[in-house]
Structure formats: structure tokens, C-alpha cells
Amino acid sequence: MKLNYKKSFKLITLLITSILIAAVSAQVYSYMYIQGSGTITTGGLAWAKGTTAPGGSSVQGYTVTNLNLTITKNNFANFTDCLHLINNDATSHTFSLETTVTSGDTSKFTTFNLAISNSTGQRVTKISIKSQQTASGLTIHGSETLYVRFEVDPLLDATSGSISFTVKLTYD
């Protein structure tokens, strides 16, 4: 068998060129990538901690936990910017609040109120936690933030006492 060096040289040159092109192409593609994520969000209302929220309190989804409002004997405490109620929608929602004392002695407190105001400081509602009140027909406008304040006043000379409470917010 007779070997044609000219054709073999061309074939080897083409083979080496193909390998180099493949190597360069592979290097270019090794630097191509996409980083991202997919997230499903819902609008509606959300809680956020305010500047006077007690340490240790947290917001997990639609629930505020460990909101331990601690006051000292004979001292009124006003947690002025405790929580924020945020409307993540462009449309308004109506909502209601219902308080329930789950344990403790409400007689140890002169005042234990939850007050909500808008960004101008105008009061939207105030309800007593110790007398387990309900407020309904309240409105939060689209993209609005309302501010939740707790007003807590112990009975004069009360050295101890506590109550545990739940506030249920229902909105349309």
C-alpha cells in the first residue's frame, strides 16, 4: 500500500485544526452560565417589626411571635412603633381585629391597649386587649403602612402580673 504524504498531511492538519476549534469552543462555553431563582409571592397584608419592637420578637410569615412587652412597676409603657401592618397590594383591603387573652390576670393592668395609626399619626382604631375587644370595618389603602402601638400601664404598686394574648387580624 502506497502512502500519499500530501493527503495525509492535509488530513492531519484538518484534524489538528478541528481539535483546536473544539478546545476553544469548549473553553468559551465553560464560562457561560445562568444564575437565578424562581419565587412565588403573594400580595396582601404583612407584618414588619417596628423600631420599638421588643428584642426577641420576630415575624414569621403571617405571625408575629415572642412579642414580650415588659414594663416596670408603676411605669406606663408606650411601645409607639412596635409593629407595621403593610399592604403589599395596590388596592385597599378592609380588615378586623379581635383580641383574646389566653392566660394571666388582666386585673393587674390599668391599661393594655393596641392602637393603630396611619403615617400622619391619625388614629385608625384603639382596642383593649384586657377587655378582649373587636374592631371591624377598618381600611388599609393600597401600598399603605399602618403603625401598631401598645399602651401598657400596670396597676399601681403591682409588683408582678402578666397576661398572654392573641390578636387575630382578618382581611378581605
pLDDT at 40: 61
Domain regions of the chain by residue span: 45-171
Please give the pLDDT value at position 17. Answer: 81
Structure confidence at residue 4 as a pLDDT band (50, 70, 90): confident
CA distance 22 to 16: 10
pLDDT tens digits for 62-107? 899 999 999 988 899 999 999 999 999 999 999 999 999 889 989 9
Q: Is 70 helix (H, G, I), strand (E, B) or coil?
A: coil
Q: Which amino acid is at 115?
A: A
Contact 56, 10 (CB under 8 A): no
The predicted pLDDT at position 24 comes to 65
The C-alpha angle with vertex 97 and arms to 160 and 133, in degrees rounded to 5, equals 55
Separation between Cα atoms, residue 33 and residue 97, nearest integer Å? 49
- What average pLDDT is seen over the chain? 87
* CATH for the 45-171 domain, from 1.10.3470, 1.10.10, 3.40.50, 2.60.40: 2.60.40
